[in-house]
Structure 1
Amino acid sequence: MTGRSPQPDRDVDALLRRRLAAAGLDGVASLRPVEGGVAAVARIAELSDGSRVFVKTLAEAPGDDLFPVEAEGLAALRDLGGVATPEVLLVTPEILVLRALRPRPDTPGFWERLGHAVAALHTTTVHDRFGWHRDGWLGRKRQYNEWHTDGHEFYARCRILRWLDEPQVAAAFDHAERRALERLCERLPEIVPAVPASLTHGDLWTSNIIAGVDGEPVLVDPAVSYNWPETDLSMLWCTHRPPESARFFDAYVEAARPEPGWRERLPVLYLRQLLCLIAHDYPDRSPAERVREVIAPFHRRA
């Protein structure tokens, strides 16, 4: 989750220059803003030797491990799942510097190749437990990844109920709505098949899909864990995406063979992201309204 900062651009640029210099990366000739996301600020930095790098920071990082965890997630996707990720040039608790890449070309061929890459990620990293060896981050909020052998329990505790005590989420829903979310969690075994966990990107929306110098798909900004593969599909399916992305789903289904009914399950799996947006004080009410649509069948009738 990267994006524009509420701070004036000059203040952000000055902060980035100071942090780059403190990390030993001098000679920044210019900084160009990068759009997309809600949590961090990002720039393309042109260095004095003419090379370009991607730099990301937060004015006040929520934890010293934010960027190290992100760098580790990029390495896991690449080394365990065979997915292309950018080279990490520098990582500190305050800043992340990656090799600069290219904007995503929205062609059917690009999205088809991405579908095959994500299918390979999911089908070659099957795991006997859900979670990760450490907690991570989703935006500025902790992603809890404690190990579970039961995927339904993991998703209920660590991906849905985990958000209910966040102040913005608590303010958005009344008691009846919270109980409906809890009932949905109780019925997850009826909704989601008991499939094994696989390594997942965890935040697979369009802004986190870019291109390498060869034009091939590259993934950035992960929130990795071993989880149901369909959680990655839900991020793309339920967010705005270009029409060419239909080829992603065609290629993925052909290669990964998800359980029947996968499309109908995706809005339930997307609840994690909607609750996360609310917890980050998203500026409109649409995430809360979308949550209410999903949980409507789980209200207890008198």
Structure 2
Amino acid sequence: MLQTSIDWQTIAKHITETTDQDFQVQTHYSISGGCINQAFRIEGLGQNYFVKINQPSAYEMFESEAASLAELAQPAVIKVPVPICWGSTQTHAYLVTEYIAMPGDARNAGIQLGHQLAVLHQVMRTPYGWYRDNYIGSTPQKNTQENDWATFWQKQRLAYQLELASHKGYSGNLQTHGEKLLDEIGVFFTDYSPSPSLLHGDLWSGNYAVDVDGQPVIFDPAIYYGDRETDIAMTELFGGFPSDFYAAYQDQWPLDVGYPTRKILYNLYHILNHLNLFGGGYLSQAEGMISKLLSEIK
């Protein structure tokens, strides 16, 4: 992905300055799993850190990720990697976080994560959105604050992704039916007004693991304050979470009866984002979801 040599000396100096503890990169190990950044575990002087590397233009993405991790860590409900420092060299942008050894024994972690996520969602702040924009994958995520949830989801989520899709040449039914859905989006919230919960924002199975002590860990967030159902909906995409996770969440804070329909509305955002990031393989799925939602409108 990135062919130029990484300036580990500059990164090590930044870690030393931030932590006030001398650090030198003596060894580094490539970590697989991501499709956007290069990732490494770096070691030196008895310390370990996790580092993401990308092109210099990724500085803002890493800055917003550090802010997202800090916000998610603040309630101390679910373990997240602590951001250490971020910056750029002449050839790369980087983000350094705490290194957490994974994976661990996941046998009981689903129940624990379900309970913890329900508690995290009880951290609330108005209005909907966040004080800054961030990223969903490598796509900018608009978090302009709104006092009305339906308006937020219409403007800052679906309309923005449909606009990106239009710029990429996806027209036809996606746009005509998508515009109709945007016009009718209030129908899905006639008797449902969610509280603005602290959300992970990108909670699929690839952004969850278990540490060596058996504790759930979540990472790579795209946080904002919104309907908790959006986090639960995304856990059902791309492989899903274990059944005991859902039972534990429901035990802690049951979902509204309208969730099965709204989860399609919420996951449409992620499918549109995958269409914009990875191409036309997601087009028919997006169109099918929009058609299903329109069929629910009486």
Please give the TM-score of this superposition, normalised by the length of structure 2: 0.85
Q: Which residue of 2 aligns with 1:52?
A: 48
Question: Are 1:38 and 1:139, in contact at CA under 8 Å, matched by a contact in 2?
Answer: no
Q: Does 1:220 align with 2:258?
A: no
Given the superposition, is the C-alpha separation of residues 83 and 237 from structure 1 closer, same or farther in structure 2, using an over 3 Å criterion?
A: same
Distance, in Å, in 2 between the alignment partners of 1:81 and 1:29 is 32
Given the superposition, is the C-alpha separation of residues 120 and 24 from structure 1 closer, same or farther in structure 2, using an over 3 Å criterion?
A: closer
Q: Which residue of 2 aligns with 1:269?
A: 266
Deviation at 1:133, TM superposition (A): 0.8
Distance, in Å, in 1 between the alignment partners of 2:76 and 2:98 is 20
Letter in 1 for 2:53: T
Distance, in Å, in 2 between the alignment partners of 1:65 and 1:174 is 30
List 4+ stretches of structure 1 deviating above 4 A: none
Q: Which residue of 2 aligns with 1:15?
A: 6
Secondary structure of 2:75's match?
Answer: helix
Distance, in Å, in 2 between the alignment partners of 1:177 and 1:106 is 43
Q: Which residue of 1 aligns with 2:185?
A: 188
Q: Which residue of 1 aligns with 2:276?
A: 279
Matches within 5 A, 1:149-188: 149-166=147-164, 170-171=167-168, 173-188=170-185
Q: 2:82 aligns with which of 58, 62, 87?
A: 87
Structure 2 portions without partners, runs of 5+? 17-22
Secondary structure of 1:181's match?
Answer: helix
Q: 1:130 aligns with which of 119, 128, 131?
A: 128
Distance, in Å, in 2 between the alignment partners of 1:76 and 1:87 is 10
Letter in 2 for 1:66: M
Distance, in Å, in 1 between the alignment partners of 2:169 and 2:107 is 39
Q: 1:291 aligns with which of 273, 286, 296?
A: 286
Distance, in Å, in 2 between the alignment partners of 1:224 and 1:247 is 24
Letter in 1 for 2:181: L
Residue correspondences, number = 282
Secondary structure of 1:270's match?
Answer: helix
Task: Name the stretch that deviates more: 73-82 or 18-27.
Answer: 18-27
Given the superposition, is the C-alpha separation of residues 258 and 241 from structure 1 closer, same or farther in structure 2, using an over 3 Å criterion?
A: closer
Deviation at 1:21, TM superposition (A): 4.4
Given the superposition, is the C-alpha separation of residues 115 and 69 from structure 1 closer, same or farther in structure 2, using an over 3 Å criterion?
A: same
Secondary structure of 2:85's match?
Answer: strand
Distance, in Å, in 2 between the alignment partners of 1:19 and 1:77 is 28
Letter in 2 for 1:54: F
Task: Name the stretch that deviates more: 130-139 or 110-119.
Answer: 130-139
Question: Are 2:202 and 2:220, in contact at CA under 8 Å, matched by a contact in 1?
Answer: yes
Secondary structure of 2:238's match?
Answer: coil
Secondary structure of 1:247's match?
Answer: helix
Structure 1 portions without partners, runs of 5+? 1-5
Distance, in Å, in 1 between the alignment partners of 2:41 and 2:104 is 18
Please give the TM-score of this superposition, normalised by the length of structure 1: 0.84
Cα deviations by residue, 1:113-158 (Å, 9 ceiling, x for unpaired): 01111100112x2333211111112222211111101101100111
Q: Does 1:68 align with 2:92?
A: no
Q: Which residue of 2 aligns with 1:141?
A: 139
Distance, in Å, in 1 between the alignment partners of 2:133 and 2:214 is 32
Question: Are 2:194 and 2:226, in contact at CA under 8 Å, matched by a contact in 1?
Answer: no
Secondary structure of 1:202's match?
Answer: coil
Given the superposition, is the C-alpha separation of residues 291 and 106 from structure 1 closer, same or farther in structure 2, using an over 3 Å criterion?
A: farther
RMSD: 2.4
